[in-house]
Amino acid sequence: MLEIWGRPYSSNVIPVIWTAQELQLDYRLKLAGGSFGQLDSAAFGVMNPNRLIPAIRDGDFALWESHAIVRYLCSKYSAGNFYPDDIQQRAVADQWMEWCGSRAFPPVIQLFFATVRTAPEKRDVALIQSHADEAASVLGILNEHLSHHQYVAGNAFSMGDIPLGAVAYRYFNVEVERPAMVHLESWYQRLCERPAYQQHVMRFFGRNPSDWQALEVASAKEGD
């Protein structure tokens, strides 16, 4: 059985769990990282010498790095579907996965930490606005791309939508003003109709660090 090591509320683990659910794989979530520990164990170090989550074990095969894991699972279990057969379409999906990590994820996660993960009395309004502006500017590139496509790599859902879909949920659910981006919003609404997205991405993450911590502790029931 596939093992996924990580936390259900981790930004980098969520795409992996979502992928496994989309593919209807039997998997076991092994709680690790944050308050769950285990990253310093010898067993985890063998699986991932970086001692970071996520990591997976698929039989005797271990793999780390979120996007690499998503690609692997889609190529093994959804070739020709989530992992497109057409090499150019697949390259486009891969391109947007890379763009997610280099351009979209950083400002959105910084915005998330400046709001949800910072106590209200310690929040820096100017810093929050700066992150919000940068996130909107970057995501405007994706909005323009989606004016010609239903999904990131064309008109069918693929691995390219997964990392960005996880980022989009955080972007659309932090308490900041956002400019209208009709194509991005329509794509996001299509993702919101997917049961696996609803179950594993659309998690209420609280409004402050205390909420966040309580929700993460409560998520222990999802793994072992």
- Per-residue pLDDT tens over the stretch 64-119: 999 999 999 999 999 999 999 999 999 999 999 999 999 999 999 999 999 999 99
221, pLDDT greater than 90: no
This prediction's pTM: 0.96
pLDDT band at 217 (very low <50, low <70, confident <90, very high): confident
Give the number of other CB atoms < 10 A from CB of residue 135.
26
Q: What is the pLDDT of residues 125-153, one digit of tens each?
A: 999 999 999 999 999 999 999 999 999 99
Rounded CA gap, 9 and 216, in Å?
6
Query: What's residue 34's pLDDT?
Result: 86
Distance CA 194, CA 200 (A): 10
Say which range, 3-12, 35-44, 117-126, 155-164, has the weakest mean pLDDT: 35-44
99 and 39 in a common domain: no
| Angstrom distances, CA of residue 124 to CA of 50, 170, 172 | 32, 19, 20
User: Is it true that the peptide bond before 179 is cis, omega within 30 degrees of 0?
Assistant: no
* Residue 204 within a domain: no
Helices (H) and strands (E) in the chain, counts: 10, 4
**pLDDT (tens digit, 9 = 90+) per residue, 172-199?**
999 999 999 999 999 999 999 999 999 9
Residue 45 scores a pLDDT above 80: yes
* 43 compared with 166, residue with greater pLDDT: 166
Structure tokens at 149: 């496509």
Residue type, 61: F
Residue 224 has pLDDT above 80, yes or no: no
**Do residue 181 and residue 153 come from a single domain?**
yes
Residue 14 has pLDDT above 90, yes or no: yes
Q: Helix 14-22 crosses helix 161-172 at what angle (to 10 degrees)? A: 120
List the domain range (segments joined by +) for residue 152.
Answer: 87-193
Number of domains into which the chain is organized: 2
CATH number of the domain enclosing 176: 1.20.1050.10
The verdict on 101 and 186 lying in the same domain is yes
